[in-house]
Amino acid sequence: MGDPSSRPLGVAVVGYSFMGKAHSNAWRNVGAFHPECPPVRQQVLVGRDPSAVKEAADRYGWAESATDWRSIIEHDDIDIVDICTPGHLHHDIALAALEAGKHVLVEKPLANSLAEAEAMVAAADAAERRGVLSMVGFNYRRVPALALARELIAAGRIGDVRQVRAAYLQDWLADASAPMTWRLRRETAGSGALGDLGSHVVDQVQTLLGSPVTSASGNLHTFVTSREGEAGPEPVTVDDAAWATLGTASGAVASVEASRMATGRKNGLTVEVYGTAGSLSFDLERLNELCVQDELGGPLAGQRRVLVTEESHPYLSAWWPPGHILGWDHTFTSQAADFLTAIATGTPPSPSFADGLAVQRVLAAIEQSAAGSGARVDVPLSDEHGGTD
């Protein structure tokens, strides 16, 4: 791989559409806002369509483009492989990159099945013993307001958490005439709203509480069972929406929901946390705000709006003066900075592949429960191949 200390770390991003664009933006900007991180070079952007990926590479600042991810694995000028592909490709690319000594970042969910996720964790563990690091991309851990919420909960500001309500609602499939995409095929996506959006919700529940989910009961539903594909109508083989009740090791109970059919909601990740001494609430569509109540009773009791833009707030020191709000894309830049810092210091990145597997186990339990008419399913407790950070 060459001596990374003698040159910028070479980055390859596999995938150039929605997530590839977001990650490209992060790699382009991380050095400007986080000069303390090791410098990086945007070396290659990978995609299947030669002309489209070249155009994207030129637009997003990559030195070159390629059409076969295998061609980049052995390149000495590639130190980091960032995987932004559909889920069915995560396992093969990650294993090959780790084996070749590349640090690996994989978009969530970690894989399309528990077996693949477990194999990826085993490969990550073996690679870490050789100094090769890996991370899964739950970017909402880098929303300053959610990071602050985690700090407040850990400090006991709202007491012992009793219940959580969390939902991730979008409406991009609410129109029944919306066309077929890879996200609606089980063989490429693994699952529907559950894996795509529900993985973020489950990760937030476990991260905010610092406690793993131990049981799940759930329900899945597909509202539009057929969509128009390139060759005519195709069956939709994943869920459009998911609901679940989760039990946690701490005793808190979480009600979670994910939907791509929620008319009028564009990117509505909402979290409400209720404790014995207060509460917190958050809405991604107002991502710089956290509503906090940390006292009970009295004439002024009730939630107050905190604008999370102070330099002392999580992740804000790299950005703008107080009151100058951040956006969705900033979370990916902070994610890249955290990964680079871990590489530079030899510190295990967070969230790890093991954390991704822990989420995957909860998603699998929800699916199992839904297949069994909503019966409660126990989630295996974390071992060396899983856990909450």
273-306 pLDDT tens trace: 999 999 999 999 999 999 999 888 777 788 999 9
Section 21-34 average pLDDT:
98
Section 365-381 average pLDDT:
96
Domain spanning 4-139, CATH architecture: 3-Layer(aba) Sandwich (3.40)
Section 237-256 average pLDDT:
98
Residue 304 exposure: Cα atoms within 13 Å on the Cβ side: 9
Q: Are 255 and 164 a contacting pair, CB within 8 Å?
A: yes
pLDDT at res. 383: 59
Q: Model-level pTM?
A: 0.95
CA torsion 298-303-309-310 (nearest 10°) is: 20
Higher pLDDT residue, 299 or 364?
364
Assess if CATH 3.40.50.2020 describes domain 143-327+351-378. Answer: no
CA distances 190 to 86, 103, 257, 365, Å, are 9, 24, 18, 14
What DSSP string runs through 67-101?
S-THHHHT-TT--EEEE-S-GGGHHHHHHHHHHTT
What amino acid occupies position 9? L
312-342 pLDDT tens trace: 999 999 999 999 999 999 999 999 999 999 9
- Count of beta carbons in the 10 Å neighbourhood of residue 297: 6
* DSSP alpha helix (H) spans, 261-352: 330-345
Q: How confident is the model at residue 5 (pLDDT cuts 50, 70, 90)?
A: low
201-225 pLDDT tens trace: 999 999 999 999 999 999 999 999 9
| Segments of the chain assigned to CATH 3.40.50.720 | 4-139
Section 36-55 average pLDDT:
98
Residue 375 exposure: Cα atoms within 13 Å on the Cβ side: 6
Residue 316 exposure: Cα atoms within 13 Å on the Cβ side: 21
As a whole number, the mean pLDDT across the chain is 95
For 327, list phi and psi in degrees, rounded to 5. Answer: -125, 180
Section 141-148 average pLDDT:
98
Higher pLDDT residue, 6 or 159?
159
342-355 pLDDT tens trace: 999 999 999 999 99
